Amino acid sequence: MSITVIIPAGGSGERLGANLPKALVQLGGRTLIEHAVSQMSPIADQVIVAVPSGLEAQFQSLLGSEVTVVTGGITRTESVSAALKQVSKDSKYVLVHDAARPLASTDLARRIIKELEAGADAVIPGLKVVDTIKRVNVDGFVTKTPNRTKLRAIQTPQGFTRETLITAHKSESEATDDAGLVEELDIPVKVILGEDRALKITTPEDLIRANRFLFATTDAELRVGIGTDAHAFSSDPSRVMALAGLVWANEIGVDGHSDGDVAAHAICDALLSAAQCGDLGSNFGTSRPEYAGASGATLLQETLSIITRAGFAINNVAVQIVGNRPKIGPRRQEAIDALSQALGGAPVSVSATTTDGLGFTGEGKGLAAIATALITRK
């Protein structure tokens, strides 16, 4: 059962005033039409884009050969009609979208299709309106105030059975959306819940709003944290060296309450500080004897579970080991794998440096580590 998505992109975008067709305007590093195509492609067997006359080749090279490009018309209705001629005979359902709604989600399209599969001929997304809407006459006087609770602001993609859409487009009418043509045939049009992110880009202010949706997680929800740790090399030559989640044979370890893994401890502190969950001492200090001698991996796992319970997920972690020995390079990948595994597969980087003979690390008296962590509130 095949599905076609039509995306009219044939407008000039006069109100946006960008000196190029609106569909080619950039949003977060991609054009509006690329956003729309990438959101709709996962549910589509066929994607047809109607473009301004003369720009067919430019759109085709931008969107690739999987997308069918057709020449748009003078109005949106004409652009959709032009695209309809290319719809595959195998298509049972056709969704008509707008390049001007680049962030409408794949999920919204899926929900539209679900209603079509349940038997509806026409399904459109809509949001409740917050403003009171009034009908006014040409002289600017109010003629009617419809009951706001019965009003919906309608979005795209709008879904139809193929026959319904083809029949609707046979009329000579113009409408600002395709459901308008279907309504004229007295075919019931079902409204389902739309999305804030399916907002329409009309003016430059709309681009700013869309940017906020796109970067919501990077802007508001990111947290960065820092952690350091240092330990003196042990005077006990049998003390095992644990560092970066690995055991280092032929190295003398460091003294400490736990296994003395400075890299793991610095990462734990960085994660706890990013999540505002205190530090190693406040979570696993001497008041928690069960953590005496705990391995770096155990503390990392426990830290991951603390920040997960606080509502955060790890973006990445970086740790730098400071000291004369051991040499990290030959076992760097092993260390990364061990730390990452303890952190549920989070991206980890491990670097190392000496300090040119300076300080306790340079004098070979001990080991230190510095870590940063980036996390996101889920």
Distance of CA 348 to the CA centre of its chain: 21
- Minimum separation from the CB atom of position 133 to ligand CTP (A): 19
Could you give the C-alpha distances from 178 to 170, 336, 369, in angstroms and in order?
12, 54, 62
For residues 202 to 221, the per-residue mask of contacts with ligand CTP, x marking binding by CB under 6 A and - elsewhere, is x-------------------
With beta carbons less than 8 A apart as the criterion, state whether 220 and 155 touch. Answer: no
Helix (H, G, I), strand (E, B) or coil at 378: coil
Shortest separation between residue 311's beta carbon and Mg ion, angstroms = 42
Note whether 99 binds ligand CTP by CB under 6 A.
yes
Residue 342's closest CA among 289, 305, 293?
A: 305
In angstroms, give the least distance from the CB of 298 to ligand CTP: 55
Cα–Cα distance between 143 and 137 in angstroms, integer? 6
10 binds, among ligand CTP, Mg ion, none (CB under 5 to 8 A by kind): ligand CTP
Instruction: Return the bridge partners of 2, or none.
Output: 91
Q: 262-274 vs 332-342: helix axis angle to the nearest 10?
A: 40
**Region of 98-106, 136-144, 158-166, 167-175 interacting with ligand CTP (CB under 6 A):** 98-106
Residues 9-38 that bind Mg ion (CB under 5 A): 11
Residues 11-70 that bind ligand CTP (CB under 6 A): 11-16, 22-23, 50
Contact 367, 323 (CB under 8 A): yes
Q: Using CA atoms, how far apart are residues 358 and 281, in angstroms rounded to an integer?
A: 28
283 binds, among ligand CTP, Mg ion, none (CB under 5 to 8 A by kind): none
Three-point CA angle 331, 334, 340, nearest 5°? 135
Answer yes or no whether residue 72 interacts with ligand CTP by CB under 6 A: yes
Stretch that binds ligand CTP, among 92-100, 226-234, 261-269, 332-340 (CB under 6 A): 92-100
Q: Which of ligand CTP, Mg ion, none interacts with 205 (beta carbon under 5 to 8 A by kind)? A: none
C-alpha gyration radius of the chain = 30
Closer residue to ligand CTP, CB minimum distance, 47 or 374: 47
Residues that bind Mg ion in the complex, under the rule CB under 5 A: 11
Which stretches of the chain bind ligand CTP, using CB under 6 A?
A: 8-16, 22-23, 50, 72-76, 79, 98-100, 202
